A and B are shown apart, each in its own frame.
Chain A
Amino acid sequence: GQSLEQPSEVTAVEGAIVQINCTYQTSGFYGLSWYQQHDGGAPTFLSYNALDGLEETGRFSSFLSRSDSYGYLLLQELQMKDSASYFCAVEDRTNAGKSTFGDGTTLTVKP
């Protein structure tokens, strides 16, 4: 099976940079995704990494190290609207196309 670990809560101030880590255990890693979910809303897709390295999309970047079974989501120039839960999700070859989600990290951005 698969398992993922991410911090339950992170707090940062507006304008700062925050990194949300995710470590995973899986038998046949395929890729790591990140999702954002605002309170009461649906998860929305942010990024997907299948190869080692950094993927940048505007203020958000996602990093993957397959050898360390580790990834992170980097949020820059934090805004109040970034307060939300962030989930990492892993796909593996034995479960191709189906994502297993972590329990999420609640990010609180303070003024």
Chain B
Amino acid sequence: IAGITQAPTSQILAAGRRMTLRCTQDMRHNAMYWYRQDLGLGLRLIHYSNTAGTTGKGEVPDGYSVSRANTDDFPLTLASAVPSQTSVYFCASSGGLWNGYTFGSGTRLTVV
């Protein structure tokens, strides 16, 4: 089934630890995105990639890094987690504005 796979589904992480959230798509979309969604709020863009080999900063990039070594994978790394990074993280990809974004099922991260 075509779509986006995120892992892990959920994670409890000690503050100060490093963690990588994984995202893989099989739709051959050029553009990929990472959003975070805090309780009761909308999605805020962390980082994006318009095509393999390029990345850019979104609205809330501090404390996060990404890489895009190939078309399919777009991992998000928290270098040293802090409690304010507790959130649900969604990876998305797009094959064009008219078709919207396809989102993964999300990673629920709790930093304690």
Contacts and interface: CB of A to CB of B under 8 A. Distances in A.
Interface of A: 30-31, 33, 35, 41-48, 50, 87, 91, 97-104
A104 B100 contact: no
A98 B45 contact: yes
Given A35-B100, A97-B97, A104 B31 contact: no
A41 B33 contact: no
A42 B90 CA distance: 8
B100 A33 contact: yes
B34 to A, nearest CB: 11
Nearest to B108: A40
A32 to B, nearest CB: 10
Interface residues on B, range: 20 to 34
14 contacts: A35-B100, A45-B99, A45-B102, A47-B100, A50-B98, A87-B42, A97-B94, A99-B101, A100-B59, A101-B35, A102-B42, A103-B41, A103-B42, A104-B41
Contacts of A46: 100
Contacts of B97: 30-31, 33, 48, 50, 91, 97
A101 B100 contact: no
A87 B43 contact: yes
B58 interface: yes
